[in-house]
Amino acid sequence: MVIPAIDLKGGRCVRLRQGDLNRETVYADDPVATAAAWKRQGAERLHVVDLDGSFAGIPRHEAVIRKMVAETGLPIQVGGGIRNIKTVESYLRTGVRWVILGTSVFMDPSFAHEACRMFPNRVILGIDAVGGRVAVRGWTERTEETALALARRFMEDGPAALVYTDIARDGMETGVNIEATGELADVVGIPVIASGGVSGINDIERLLPLEKRGVVGVIAGKALYTGALSLAEAIERTRGRVREA
């Protein structure tokens, strides 16, 4: 599945390079209209990140996200500033299909374990890494924990999926980290969604063989906004793969 990304900052749709707030490009002033546009082009799911929430530790764009859910009807996965059960419940009540836990997976694992078990198949774990090492708090703090070691801790909790982001590639259009993504899927046995570095249709082609290893989708951001990747073409290619199988 090819999943368009919508990153929210100051009420607008932006993209960052390698998660750096000082390297921001604004692509749209109306994120809800952007979500509707991706739906018209065939999107079957949206990946939404509240960047302001990531840095504040609490949601900042709940109203916008609620409107996206209501107006598109698409399944939406949301991350950014989700640090307690109350926030998880609040998002799920608005119609958000999945919440994504990122920083708390490392900083507050007891909460992440509890959320996975309280809300089966509704919690996605976001693991963001540089050189294989986990980064947290909007990617501003790097740790010594490896992505593989962190993911292993949650194998028994039944998360809906893992979103694995290679921060060094995010927003850079330098290609997905195929090797690390495949290795993670092999080890944890949890569905993995690739993220970071999509540059064009070639990356979609390279990811398709990983489906058999448990990589179920890819998040695309900058490449879609710049036109380097056509969402319609990418979706058609993945559907063609399904037919071939």
Active-site annotation holds for 186: no
Q: Which two tokens stand for residue 240?
A: 């063609």
How big is the chain, counted in residues? Answer: 245
CA dihedral 228, 213, 179, 187 (to 10 degrees): 140
- The active-site residue out of 20, 30, 52, 128 is 128
Helices (H), the chain: 31-40, 51-56, 62-72, 85-93, 103-107, 109-118, 147-152, 178-188, 201-207, 222-226, 231-244
Active-site annotation holds for 7: yes
Burial of 144 (0-12, 13-18, 19+ CB in 10 A): exposed
Radius of gyration of the chain (CA): 16
Residue 229: closest CA among 241, 221, 239: 221
Residues with catalytic annotation?
A: 7, 128
